Amino acid sequence: GEDVEQSLFLSVREGDSSVINCTYTDSSSTYLYWYKQEPGAGLQLLTYIFSNMDMKQDQRLTVLLNKKDKHLSLRIADTQTGDSAIYFCAATGTASKLTFGTGTRLQVTL
């Protein structure tokens, strides 16, 4: 089945850009997602990209997809303290099954 991997932790300074990386294994994955989860809260969909796209930009968020390497990244421009959270990468594989990564904890320092 699908396996989604992420690094566990990222620390950036306020105002800098953050780049969170993700790799997945199922080359037939059709949609790839980024979710944000704040402490004690539910999953908030940030953005998604269809597998036939290379890039998607939405305000401060930029998603890059390298389908050949099965690599997905999320860039947050001008990172703010409110961006501190856990970010999950997820991929839709066979039969619309959504598989999540382990999550990357983003810490924003002043």
Partner 1 sequence: EAGVAQSPRYKIIEKRQSVAFWCNPISGHATLYWYQQILGQGPKLLIQFQNNGVVDDSQLPKDRFSAERLKGVDSTLKIQPAKLEDSAVYLCASSLQSYGYTFGSGTRLTVV
Between CA 57 and CA 38, with CA 25 as vertex, the angle to 5 degrees is: 50
Among 17, 28, 30, 57, binds partner 1 (CB under 8 A): 30
State yes or no: residue 10 binds partner 1 (CB under 8 A). no
State yes or no: residue 102 binds partner 1 (CB under 8 A). yes
State yes or no: residue 100 binds partner 1 (CB under 8 A). yes
Q: Which among 9-17, 44-52, 62-70, 71-79 is the span making contact with partner 1, rule CB under 8 A?
A: 44-52
The token duo for 99 is 């598989």
Dist CA 48 CA 34 (whole Å): 6
Dist CA 108 CA 14 (whole Å): 6
State yes or no: residue 21 binds partner 1 (CB under 8 A). no
Site residues (CB under 8 A) for partner 1?
1, 4, 30-31, 33, 41-43, 45, 48, 50, 88, 92, 95-103
